[in-house]
Amino acid sequence: MRVVVVGIVAVAACSPLPPPPMIPTHASTEPEARGTTTAMFVIGIAGEPFAPGWGTALRVERQETDRTTVGLELGGGRGIDGGPSLVALRGYGRFAAKDYVAVTYGLGLSAMSSGFVGYAVHGGGLVAWNNGDAEPLAGAGFYLAGPLRRGEPFGGTSPGTARTPSTKLSVYLDGGLVVPTERAALSFDVGMAIPLFSADAQGIVAASIASTGVLRRK
């Protein structure tokens, strides 16, 4: 069994307001060999169009079966113009129905320095063109995010407009490109999420870059 450790640079965005599980896939739908463990570092921006935040995340994924990938992600972020910071932990999975089609799902918890503690669950689908060169992919799905503890209000552009995150059901769209290299896979992603049944909530946009390397291969 050979162990390969590589330097990993870049991956996923965090949205400090409110924190959804809108996490770019940055991975192909085609499964790795069973038992393979990979690591990814993400960096990006995400948030409301005129109030973005920046974030980083570290992911570790394992190809658990011939078709199922499971992963754990630790991330954090903060608004570009200040405000509370965020830390989040998420478990997720990906089931490859075909080499070019996968089902994605996940459950996460997040906490802010404002005292907010929240949950987020999501489910969706992913398609990709696995050509071994520059591999485009696209995904869509739904997520539900809400508070377990509201904490102190924050944000707003004038006195009295600060708020705490509330429960929202949203739909998300995501597109990206995975570029395999000799030692690591580089990936780029853009996405957006639109809250449903909420007239006063803005959408969320995100852009991120990532690099993935193999830690262990059977």
The 10s digit of each residue's pLDDT in 87-115 is: 999 999 999 999 999 999 999 999 988 89
- For the cut 90, the answer to whether the pLDDT of residue 199 exceeds it is no
pLDDT at 1: 25
Tell me how crowded residue 7 is: count the other CB atoms within 10 A of its CB.
9
The 10s digit of each residue's pLDDT in 19-36 is: 444 567 888 899 999 999
- For the cut 80, the answer to whether the pLDDT of residue 51 exceeds it is no
166 token code pair: 């509330």
Average the pLDDT over 29-57 and give the result: 86
pLDDT at 20: 47
- Please tell me the least confidently modeled range out of 67-71, 124-128, 132-136, 200-204: 200-204
The 10s digit of each residue's pLDDT in 124-181 is: 999 999 887 889 999 999 989 889 998 887 766 565 566 777 788 889 999 999 998 8
More confident residue, 48 or 191: 191
- When the pLDDT of each residue in the chain is averaged and rounded to a whole number, the result is 81
pLDDT at 9: 26
pTM check: above 0.95: no
More confident residue, 202 or 110: 110
CA distance linking residue 186 with residue 163, whole number of Å: 37
Give the 3-state DSSP-derived string for the chain, with helices as H, strands as E and coil as C: CEECCCCCCCCCCCCCCCCCCCCCCCCCCCCCCCCCEEEEEEEEEEEECCEEEEEEEEEEEEECCCCEEEEEEEEEEEECCCCCEEEEEEEEEEEEEECCEEEEEEEEEEEECCCCEEEEEEEEEEEECCCCCCEEEEEEEEEEEEEEECCCCECCCCCCCCECCCCEEEEEEEEEEEEECCCCEEEEEEEEEEEECCCCCCCEEEEEEEEEEEEEEC
So where are the chain's domains?
2-217
Choose the CATH number for 2-217 among 3.40.50.880, 3.30.70.360, 2.40.160.20, 3.40.50.2000. Answer: 2.40.160.20
Q: What percent of the chain has pLDDT over 90?
A: 46
